[in-house]
Amino acid sequence: MIKQGLVQNMSEGPATESCEVEKTSRKRGLEKTKDFPSKKKSWGILTSQGSWADRSPLHEAAGRGRLLTLRNLISQGYNVDVRTIDHVTPLHEACLGDHVACARALIDAGANVNATTIDGVTPLFNACLVGSATCTEILLENGANPQTAICQPSPIHEASSKGKSACVEALITWGADVDYDIPHLGTPLFIACTSKQLHCTRKLLDKGANVQKGRFLETPLHAAAAQDCTDVVKALLEYGADVNARNLELKRPVESAPPSSLAEGFLLLYEAMPRQLSQLCRLSIRDCLGQSRLHLIPQLQLPTRLMNFLQYR
């Protein structure tokens, strides 16, 4: 049941799409050989049918969180970067299981924090997939790349889609682009809105995400309206989302909302009311500061109440 659950989670995650044509051909070629096992099913993009057959004792210990066994194996000289046929390492397994102590032990023993499977999955992606903020921090502290290439699974997109706001914050703190735009996925903010993840939406906006940047001409507000998620719609409007932006179909966000939905009603009411002067001033000040200097707001010589207002607190 655990493996089936992981298959479902990883196959449904919008951030797991990647360049797979060449890799699929490689797997099919292996399947035609006599020695290729056929009993085990895949773990989404992590493993193919052969990876369970060549899992080492280190993989088993890391995947099950057995720290003492793991340390004993390492002390006996086992290679901490031993890989399955799909290049899954013990560190991938430890992070996928949120086994922090095992992940730390492997890293201390020299495990490659940027190891990738044949599908481009890193231990950091696995940590974000399950929402392990501690594993995420440990990996980043030890040199994990916070951002992957466009054709590889993106940790910040995965964390945003799953509502793992602590992982999102860690990734941004360590240098991930808050507006990282993958053509077929859009930005992390767009993904969070599509997935109706309010906390991640607010976290991304607080970190300076462009409220208008989504996927092509589809804005995050279009996505939230289409999902009839009023709370996310409100958050986007607070941060200055344009209610008159048009997508490829020339529709405004209100026209993307389901007919007679709460989101449609809220947007219609919002359009009929003038904006508050205080809100316009807040947006103007934040815009003047720019994304890269929003973290300097607490250093301004301003009353605490005003600083909190500028930071939406």
pLDDT digits (tens, 9 = 90+) for 186-217: 999 999 999 999 999 999 999 999 999 999 99
Of the pLDDT bands very low, low, confident and very high (cuts 50, 70, 90), residue 41 is very low
Least confident of 10-19, 39-48, 290-299: 39-48
Rounded to two decimals, the pTM is 0.79
76 class by beta-carbon count within 10 Å (0-12 exposed, 13-18 middle, 19+ buried): exposed
Residue of higher predicted confidence among 293 and 126: 126
Q: Which domains, from first to last, does the chain contain?
A: 1-7+42-145 (1.25.40.20), 152-165+176-273 (1.25.40.20), 277-313 (1.10.750.20)
Mean of pLDDT over the chain: 85
Supply the DSSP string of 252-311, one letter for each residue. -HHHHSPTT-HHHHHHHHHHHSPPPHHHHHHHHHHHHH-GGGGGGGGGSSS-HHHHHHHT
Residues in the chain: 313
Q: For position 32, what pLDDT does the model report? A: 37
Counting residues of the chain whose pLDDT is more than 70, the rounded percentage is: 83
Residue of higher predicted confidence among 16 and 120: 120
Of the pLDDT bands very low, low, confident and very high (cuts 50, 70, 90), residue 52 is low
Q: For position 53, what pLDDT does the model report? A: 55
